[in-house]
Structure 1
């Protein structure tokens, strides 16, 4: 029991060590190692089988060409000896010389054949037991040969009775020992053939068992390698498929860990890096969408404020236009009065009192003109301030449009147009201011002249010609004022038109900002499908610098 537990523990440690050693190997390397071992086992089995078959072939060759041949030779010697014995017995019963000679020739031939066979067998004798048995045969033959020669001599000499009575009893025991030695040699060869046959059978049996064991081992090893490799492939693939399904549902909280090396480990590592990149991209898009939504809201609010201010500016411009129109009428009336004063200057002495009254009216009118000029200057300052604020808002809108990227391109164009209109408004206001300043200066000059005329009204009659000249100058100045006021009127009308255009552009910008705000909210809704971890670091540290929006579109085109 203790040995079984220890064996299981050692096998478990061995399998764990094998997993650790093979965890960094690729699929192709594992397949190469597994099938390489199987091929080595098959080659070992094949090589062993070939060697054993060659050994069996050698043993069978020895059995057929050596043991069987030597046994056949031994039987041939025995047959020759038996043939010789028969001829020797036949001679004793024959009386015809020819027949006797034939039997003697047969004995000689049998003995010669036996001698040739023994010489051949001597060359083939291999083992010590064979040589010992063969030596016994040779010793028996050496003992038998003299007896046979003496027997044959008596027969040739015609002493048949002596050969029968004396030689034959002596030769028969020796011949029997000769036959017994041959039988022992035959038994030795039969035993050799039997042992060789058993060795062939044992070699064939052991070869069959070992080759079968190697084939089973190679098959078992191939099965183990197939199971191991399939697990190495399927486990990471199942993990990757599960992660892909969770990613398809928007769940980016899946965690993958690399458990093996090779191709499956590289696949797991690449999928984990892709998930990390998706997490950072989604987090960045979500943060950018929220920032863009807030920026779009601020832009929309700014545009609303700008629209309100533009409407206020339009109302102020309408009031300014009405004032300028009134000033135009006053200046025109002043010019008509100056012309009438020039016509009546010749009769100034007759209408001095009336002229004093008229001069008093002129003084009041000039005061009114001066006051109107100051109001126009104030209105012009207001227009200048509005143009300055419009320019600032256009700059801010351009900055926000640049931040918004592709979504704010149209708004950038609108902001540029607003800025241009604001610049034109500022230039027109500057020109109006200069004209008003000039009108004020001229009004002041007129006032001074009127004051001088009032001061010297008693000298009107005396200075009628001088008054006529002064009235002419006043008429000319009134004409210039009328021209200047008309220019101011046209400038105010232009400013009013520009203000209306600004209002329309501001409304378009507000609509564009609202659209961008809605699109940002839609993008937030789209990104909210993905679930990411709450503690995700800023993706700027993990991603490469992105191209600007217009460069990306250009490259995509």
Structure 2
């Protein structure tokens, strides 16, 4: 059971102990509460019920005795009218008080037995009251002998029964009062006994459980302190065996894991320091070789930058020539457009001249027709004049002249028509030639426009090519600068490798304070020969011949990562001595 208790959590054990103590205290408290409540109930029963009933029962008994005393006095002193009148008043008071006491007792009864007793007393009272009334009537009538006879023979049994029942009820109420008091005393004694017993058990259980609890916590903590002190002093050979599953056992388990992890870490560090020393020497040698190759690459990039600068100048000149050709082509295109517009206007003018010539031909034709008609009319007039003889001679001369004029007009009209026809033919030929010239000019304009577009594209391409070449030139310059910086960083890395080799030796010396078991010492005892640190030889760094403007960032394709052999990781920044940087 103690082993099971020891495997419980500390919180559970504390809770169990406190629960037990609280349970015992609860028993004490509940017992005391119950008993004190019983005492309070008994006292309340005594004060508010039993005592009142006893007092009223004694009042009832005393009232009956008073009535009997007054009746006997009136019967004996029957001739004393004044004294009996006083006794009559006293009798009424006694009867009233007796009835009130009996009513109070009856109102307080709750049990069937008590109610039956009170009913018997009340029945006896009624019988006695009847006899008392009859006796008082005889006394009032002055019948002394009859009254004495009534007292001796009739009322004695009624008063004795009434008084006996009243006394029995008073005695029963007194007994109940005594029993209730004894019960209260018994409850008080029981409460004291239970309180003392439970308190003693609670104190004893607290002492025992407190000792066991302290022992189950302090002993593992003492062992944990001893283990922590051994680890702090560098002794990792301590064997830690947890004996419980509570928080202290978990603490011992964690200390054992910590000790085992420290053993593994120290062993790994011891094995890794020699490997670090060897690897750092190889890294320094490789960094020096890489530095030399980086310098060569920087020289090549410098030459490439110079060649790219010359190419940039050539491409820029080509771009300027293409820009000028584009401007000239645009000017020629504008002139060709203007020539096309002029030829179009010439074609329109020739067409208008052709239309006017055709109208003139039509007018000449009309004139020729008029001359022909005039000639016919003149011929007819000459014929008519010849017929008229001498009278028509003058008219014939006029007709001859008119005919002559008509013939001359017809001849002139024919000549003009011939000239106009020839002119119209030539104008039509010129119109055709001008139309062909306009078509040719449109073709020339289209050709010039196409040439202009091509030259513009060439100019734009040349400008883009010039911009791209400049960006390439800036990128190459940046690569050159970055390569030279990489060369310097490689040399710094070589110096850092030498410093790391020295720090590995310091680390091996620092962890030598830890004491390991024989098996771990065997694992880490194989020495690894470390190469002598290599001193990096600085190489002259050449600067680029021409400083170019800063180019936009050029994102290079990501190179695949080269996996390196894993080495033990060392936490904390490495301290590099100032002597290792003097070569820079």
TM, length-normalised to structure 1? 0.51
Taking the aligned partners of 2:571 and 2:189, their CA distance within structure 1 comes to 82
Q: Pick one of 87, 91, 108 that aligns with 1:103.
A: 87
Q: Is the 8 A contact 1:133 1:188 kept in 2?
A: no
1:259 match: secondary structure: coil
Partner of 2:124: 140
Q: Cα deviation per residue 1:212-253 (whole Å; 9 max; x = unaligned)? A: 333334434443443333233212211111112322343211
Task: Report whether the alignment pairs 1:207 with 2:87.
Answer: no
Shift of 1:166: 3.9
Task: Tell whether 2:135 aligns with 1:255.
Answer: no
**Residue aligning to 1:198:** 182
> Residue 237 of structure 1 corresponds to which residue in structure 2?
221
Aligned mate of 1:177, from 143, 161, 169 = 161
- C-alpha distance in 2 between matches for 1:197 and 1:99: 45
Query: Is this contact kept in 2: 1:87–1:103, CA < 8 A?
Result: yes
Mapped pair 1:57 → 2:40 = yes
Aligned residues: 332
1:463-510: CA deviation from partner (whole Å, max 9, x where unpaired): xxxxxxxxxxxxxxxxxxxxxxxxxxxxxxxxxxxxxxxxxxxxxx9x
Deviation of residue 75 (structure 1)? 0.6
TM, length-normalised to structure 2 = 0.49
Shift of 1:60: 1.2
Q: Structure 2 CA distance, aligned partners of 1:551 and 1:164?
A: 134
Structure 1 position 45, deviation (Å): 3.0
Q: Give the 3-state SS of the residue equivalent to 2:519 in structure 1.
A: coil
1:56-109 per-residue CA deviation (whole Å, 9 max, x = no partner) reads 211111111111111101110111112212222222325343332221222233
**Contact 2:35–2:190 under 8 Å retained in 1:** no
Q: 1:277 aligns with which of 236, 251, 261?
A: 261
The equivalences for 1:311-460 within 5 A come to: 401-402=281-282
In structure 1, what is the equivalent of residue 561 of structure 2?
Answer: none
Structure 2 residue 212 is the aligned partner of structure 1 residue 228? yes
| Kept in 2: contact 1:137–1:182 (CA 8 A) | yes
**Is the CA contact 2:272–2:567 (under 8 Å) kept in the aligned structure 1?**
no
1:485 corresponds in structure 2 to none
Deviation sequence 1:445-472 (CA, Å, 0-9, x none): xxxxxxxxxxxxxxxxxxxxxxxxxxxx
Task: Name the CA distance, whole Å, in 1 between partners of 2:70 and 2:46.
Answer: 34
Deviation of 1:279 after TM superposition, in Å, equals 0.8
Q: What is the root-mean-square deviation in Å for CA atoms of aligned residues?
A: 3.9
Q: What is aligned with 1:480? A: none
- 1: CA distance, partners of 2:179 / 2:271: 94
Contact 1:253 1:533 in 2 (8 A): yes
- Higher mean alpha-carbon deviation, 251-260 vs 191-200, is at 251-260
What is the CA–CA distance in structure 2 between the aligned matches of 1:128 and 1:518, rounded to whole Å? 107
Q: Is the 8 A contact 1:84 1:107 kept in 2?
A: yes
2:100 to 108, 116, 130: 116
Residue in 2 aligned with 1:77?
A: 60
The structural deviation recorded for 1:191 is: 1.0
1:268 is aligned to 2:148: no
Relative distance call for 1:136 and 1:286 in structure 2 (3 A) is same
Aligned to 1:154: 138
CA contact (8 A) 1:282 1:527 kept: yes
| Structure 2 CA distance for aligned equivalents of residues 127 and 257 of structure 1 | 75
Deviations 1:495-529 (A, max 9, x none): xxxxxxxxxxxxxx9xx99x979984x76665444
CA distance in structure 1 between the partners assigned to 2:116 and 2:56 by the alignment:
16
In structure 2, distance between residues paired with 1:518 and 1:157: 144
**Structure 1 match to 2:352:** none
In structure 2, C-alpha distance between the alignment counterparts of 1:106 and 1:400, rounded to whole Å: 134
Equivalent in the alignment of 1:533: 517
Query: Structure 2: any 5+ residue segments left out of the alignment?
Result: 297-493, 525-565, 577-584
Residue 110 of structure 1: CA displacement? 1.3
Higher helix share: 1
Pick aligned residue for 1:66 from 49, 52, 65: 49
CA contact (8 A) 1:140 1:174 kept: yes
Distance between the aligned counterparts of 2:178 and 2:106, measured in 1? 21
Paired with 2:93 and 2:502, the residues of 1 have a C-alpha distance of: 133
